[in-house]
Amino acid sequence: MKNNTIVKEDVMHKGAEASLIHGFWFGKEVIFKQRYPKKYRIEPIDKQIRVARTLNEARALIKVKNYGLNVPQVFEIDVNTSTIIMKYIEGEKLKDLISVFDDGKKNKIFYDIGRFIAKLHQNGHIHGDITTSNIIITPNDEIFFIDFGLHEYSDSIEDKSVDLHLFKRVLISSHGSDFDKCFKAFISGYLLDYDLNGSDKGKYVVKNINSIESRGRYVKQEERK
């Protein structure tokens, strides 16, 4: 492999577990998501954890992409460096756009987000970190979901309800003035897509959110990372 086939440029974000690095891979504009070692963990165990999480996230992205949903395309998985090389998605975080969207656009976007999450849940995927920072709106108003680092496989109503509840908490804490209209549109889209084929499981998932709140069952986002 020639040195000029891979070019890493700027670190766009450094999180608790991984760095996102903008660059190019064989002429394609990409993001390198690299999980770095944790010194407090025993080295072989640390390596095993990073590889497992890298593979889990990459495989989830590939599967979700095959459902026709908008997530970054995975180009390569490097287990030696615990790195996923994926397509760079041009756009802005939903978090930074909500305040400038009119009500009609907010309703449309959150309705479509609800349908997206319903499709995930129908296929046994739990995103684990649904936030407005993990949703990219492209210049053409396409909606892309990113960061499947906390992804899990589950078909339980409880796990799906927790996924929705975490998103609800994000909307309340970060977008309080828009919470009612946005969450209502989100739930409408979720129920429509989930129960499209005559199933009523989506209704139980949504109803269980209230049960989680009454039990104080939800896990704060910071504690899940």
Predicted confidence band at 225 (pLDDT cuts at 50, 70, 90)? very low
CATH of domain 3-87: 3.30.200.20
Please tell me whether residue 102 adopts helix, strand or coil conformation: coil
Domain ranges of the chain: 3-87, 92-224
The whole-number pLDDT of residue 9 equals 79
For the ranges 9-23, 133-147, 204-218, the lowest mean pLDDT is seen at 204-218
**How buried is 169 (Cβ within 10 angstroms: 0-12 exposed, 13-18 middle, 19+ buried)?**
middle
Q: What angle do CA 93, 95, 98 make, to 5 degrees?
A: 110
As a whole number, mean pLDDT of residues 96-121 equals: 96
- The amino acid present at 15, given as its one-letter code, is G
CB 83 within 8 A of CB 35: yes
| Annotated catalytic residue 129 | yes
Render pLDDT for 63-106 as a digit per residue (tens, 0 to 9).
Answer: 999 999 999 999 999 999 999 999 999 999 999 999 999 999 99
Please give the torsion angle defined by the CA atoms of residues 202, 207, 212 and 214, in that order, rounded to the nearest 10 degrees: 180
The whole-number pLDDT of residue 170 equals 96
Q: Which is higher by pLDDT, 4 or 12?
A: 12
The C-alpha atoms of residue 63 and residue 204 are separated, in whole angstroms, by: 25
The C-alpha atoms of residue 24 and residue 92 are separated, in whole angstroms, by: 20
**Residue 125 clears pLDDT 90, i.e. is over it:** yes
Pick the CATH number of 92-224 from 1.10.510.10, 3.10.20.740, 3.10.129.10, 3.30.950.10: 1.10.510.10
Render pLDDT for 161-200 as a digit per residue (tens, 0 to 9).
Answer: 999 999 999 999 999 999 999 999 999 999 987 766 656 7
**Residue 35 clears pLDDT 80, i.e. is over it:** yes
pTM score, whole prediction: 0.88
Of 112, 129, 147, 193, which is the active-site residue?
A: 129
